[in-house]
Amino acid sequence: MKTISFIRNNVLRNKKLLVIVFSCSAICGNTSAQQFRAAVVKKDITPSDAQWLAGFSPRKSTGIHDRIYHRIIALDDGKSQFFLISSDLVNIPMPVYNRTVALLQRKYNISPLNIWWSATHNHSAPVVGPQFKGIPYASMAGRRKLSEQHEIDTVYTAMLEQKLIEGVVEARSKLAPARLGAGWGFSQANINRRAIDENGKASLGLNPDGPVDRRIGLLRIDKEDGTPLALIANYAMHGTVLGMHGSDLTTASLVISGDAPGVVAEYVEQKIGAPMLYVNGAAGNLAPIYSVYSDPKSGHLDQFRVLLGDRILEASKKITPAAGAVKLSVGALTVETPRRPGLEWSPDLGRYTKTTKAGVNMIRLPVHFLKINEEIAIWSAPVELFCEVSNEVRDRSPFPYTFYFGYTNGSLNYLPTEAAWKEGGYEPSVSPFTPAAAKELTESVTGYLLGEFRGVH
């Protein structure tokens, strides 16, 4: 396997950021044909019994509204293979992600750089574990008492992992000639969720004047005969149409569901006759316009088929996948940024932190990249990113199609903007980062897209 590596140290004026960049095109599997191939697999991960639901306060499911899935796409450019998984889950715990990609590398020779596992950030899915000493996120120690009220269902987690592995292997076996195209859509299904009061302070609510990202990034993959094979829709929105208020179970939705991302995906699939992967974006401060309802009818869950599903369908019709060569290139960088002082840090996250010689605790934030030919650049990170960051990166990117895939390859919680830290509110209160992180991430990713990644072949 031939690997091209670039290593660069960037020290900003505040000397708090170290960026280590790696870029490579990894060869996965023995493929000789140069024609682009693709495949898609859909695996049902709906539990067969009652489960503790993720997000909000602990609550146990009492039924199923709609089924939840892994959706897996395999891409092969004749030299390398890339796998994208979208799962109807709230997040992928770091231990689960690391264990799964390590197994895929060991048994099937798939580089971790070439497999991205994204969660739709659906709050009506089972809790997946093991988590961090019972804490859903690295910094959410305030939930310790709540999360210790129930055990993680390791049987469900094992099933989830096994079905993902089976799906990746199946997708690899079904690779067939395909065509790929990209495009943009627009939907007003989301809204900023940080309500600002007269004192400039934030709380969870709805803010129609707040920053938002309503663009839909689309990748359309057709079979060689022009019929749909799969669609990837990238849209930033919390999966919280269904939810609860505080710890009041009388206000809680207790059904298993894919929430708006899952309902939209199923609707589009019925229309096009092929699977659709919903990949969330920078939704850290973005809610669905109907949010935190006790049941699907009250939350107008079905309306998202129109608000978002029809907008995806309209935009995808305008994309004409081209026949011809497709080149896949992957890359990664690690952004080292100060960790919030006094923060508890689980041993499960040891690889994501370091202490400098000066005694400063740092977070080592992994960022992954995928380039498709010279027009499409996708970057991902295991955080709940605020939309202002991805918006700025997209605006400054040299690639006409620049997408951000959030909640991907693990979860290190919220990464708010510096302005959000000044406003306060929920997200900064549980973030493991500092106010400097958003700017450092923006500059690092933008610099990489403008520099090294443009030259990767």
Which residues have CB under 8 Å from 59's CB, separation 6+? 52, 53, 244, 249, 252, 254
| Structure confidence at residue 132 (pLDDT) | 47
Q: Are 309 and 268 in contact (CB under 8 A)?
A: yes
**Kind of pairing between the strands at 384-385 and 414-415:** parallel
pLDDT surpasses 70 at 7: no
pLDDT surpasses 80 at 415: yes
Percent of the chain predicted with pLDDT > 70: 88
Residue 12 pLDDT grade (very low, low, confident, very high; cuts 50, 70, 90): very low
| Structure confidence at residue 33 (pLDDT) | 47
Tell me which of 267 and 348 has the higher pLDDT: 267
Tell me which of 18 and 97 has the higher pLDDT: 97
What single string gives the DSSP state of each residue in 80-104? -EEEEEEESSS---HHHHHHHHHHH
Q: Are 182 and 401 in contact (CB under 8 A)?
A: yes
| Structure confidence at residue 141 (pLDDT) | 45
SS3 (DSSP) at 141: helix
pLDDT surpasses 80 at 137: no
| Structure confidence at residue 252 (pLDDT) | 95
| Structure confidence at residue 149 (pLDDT) | 55
Q: Is the pTM of this model over 0.85?
A: yes
Mean pLDDT for the chain? 89
The answer to whether the Cα torsion of 157, 280, 220, 449 is positive or negative is: negative
Percent of the chain predicted with pLDDT > 90: 81
Tell me which of 32 and 150 has the higher pLDDT: 150
Note the Cα 38 to chain centre separation in Å. Answer: 21
Residue 454 pLDDT grade (very low, low, confident, very high; cuts 50, 70, 90): confident
| Structure confidence at residue 180 (pLDDT) | 98
List the chain domain ranges.
37-317
| Structure confidence at residue 130 (pLDDT) | 61
pLDDT surpasses 50 at 18: no
Among 192-196, 245-249, 382-386, 441-445, the least confident range: 245-249
Q: Are 352 and 412 in contact (CB under 8 A)?
A: yes
For the beta carbon of residue 317, count every other beta carbon within 10 angstroms: 11
pLDDT surpasses 50 at 376: yes
| Structure confidence at residue 129 (pLDDT) | 80
| Structure confidence at residue 55 (pLDDT) | 87
| Structure confidence at residue 346 (pLDDT) | 85
- The per-residue pLDDT for range 353-366, each reduced to its tens digit, is 999 999 999 999 99
SS3 (DSSP) at 452: helix
For the beta carbon of residue 344, count every other beta carbon within 10 angstroms: 14
- The per-residue pLDDT for range 319-363, each reduced to its tens digit, is 999 888 999 999 999 999 999 998 888 888 999 999 999 999 999
Distance (Å, whole) CA 143 – CA 137? 9
- The per-residue pLDDT for range 142-162, each reduced to its tens digit, is 444 444 556 778 899 999 999
- The per-residue pLDDT for range 188-231, each reduced to its tens digit, is 999 999 999 999 999 999 999 999 999 999 999 999 999 999 99
Tell me which of 146 and 171 has the higher pLDDT: 171
Residue 24 pLDDT grade (very low, low, confident, very high; cuts 50, 70, 90): very low
Tell me which of 373 and 148 has the higher pLDDT: 373
| Structure confidence at residue 150 (pLDDT) | 64
